[in-house]
Structure 1
Amino acid sequence: GAPPAGEMKHGPIALLEPGFPVVAIVPADHVHDKTVSNIQEVMARGATCVAVATDGDEAVGALCEDTLWIPEVPEEKLVPIVAIVHLQLLARYVARARGCDVDKPRNLAKSVTVE
């Protein structure tokens, strides 16, 4: 799984090098400023950052190479339901670009792949 924003300095930051891909989920929430700070550190190390951010968040849009915009969500607890659609599409396009068959995933238990 992805590390929470608060854990970035406790290990994951050591992996960063120029060109390393990072996906930042940075909605307008209670940890927004900390996540933006993490994105700044990611960019300072030359990593490539794609963000999932709330529409109109110019600070994030200016920092990252690409931004997937989500609408403003009035209840913070519901943000994952909105953001997951963008993340699933991103995963699909990355998998297809890598030549993976998205309809026949490898290494899954038979119970997941049998109809």
Structure 2
Amino acid sequence: MALTNENNKDMEQTADYVIKVPKTNRFFANSLAIIPLQLFAYYVSLGRGLDVDKPRNLAKSVTVE
């Protein structure tokens, strides 16, 4: 699997699956990449039968000032 901008044609030959994001200013590229990666993680966990609303090994902490 590869995540690339829509102008990069080399990744289609290298990876089995390619997720394309729009080409943008380099300062915003990381922010745009987060969204498809979060959706990918969400659907992979649903496919594995995991409860996405109750992740395991998540510790709840409360800080009181």
Which bin holds the TM-score, normalised by the shorter protein?
Answer: 0.7 to 0.9
**Which amino acid is the alignment partner of residue 64 of structure 1?**
A
Asked which structure has the greater CA Rg, the reply is 2
**1:81 maps to what in 2?**
31
| Runs of 5+ consecutive residues of structure 2 not aligned to the other structure | none
4+ residue runs over 2 A deviation: none
Number of the residue aligned with 1:14: none
Bigger drift between 81-90 and 93-102 goes to 93-102
User: For residues 41 and 61 of structure 2, what CA distance do their matches in structure 1 show?
Assistant: 22
Give the counterpart letter for 2:3 in structure 1: V
Aligned residue pair count: 62
TM-score normalised by L of structure 2: 0.84
Greater relative contact order (CA < 8 Å, ≥ 6 in sequence): 2
Measure, in 1, the Cα distance between the counterparts of 2:31 and 2:51.
Answer: 25
**TM-score, structure 1 length as denominator?**
0.50
% identical equivalent positions: 39
Structure with more helix by fraction: 1
